[in-house]
Amino acid sequence: MRTNDPTKLETTLADGRRMTLSLPATGAGWAADGLAALRPVRPTHTGRGEEPPPLPERPPLPLEIALLGL
C-alpha cells in the first residue's frame, strides 16, 4: 500500500506487519529523487538458514568468584 506522500512508503508484509519507510529532506544529489528512486529488489535468501552451534556448558561459579565480579 502506498500513500500520496512522496516522502513516505508504506507496505504490509506477508505476515500482516506494517512497515513504513520515510526519508528526510536532504541536499545529497544521490537522494534527490527521494523514495521515487527506489525500486523493488528480489530477495537473495529466504528462511533462516542453519542454526548456530549451541553455547558450551559451563559449571556454575562459586559464590566468592561471582561476588568478585561486582
The per-residue pLDDT for range 46-63, each reduced to its tens digit, is: 778 888 888 888 877 787
- The average confidence (pLDDT) of the chain is 75
- Give pLDDT, residue 1: 45
Calpha distance 19→48 (Å, rounded): 20
> Binning pLDDT at 50, 70 and 90, where does residue 34 land?
low
- Give pLDDT, residue 2: 46
Has residue 24 got a pLDDT over 80?
A: no
The three grid cell numbers given for residue 24, joined into one nine-digit string: 528526510
Radius of gyration of the chain (CA): 24
> 3-state DSSP call for residue 65?
helix
CB 20 within 8 A of CB 10: yes
AA identity, residue 4: N
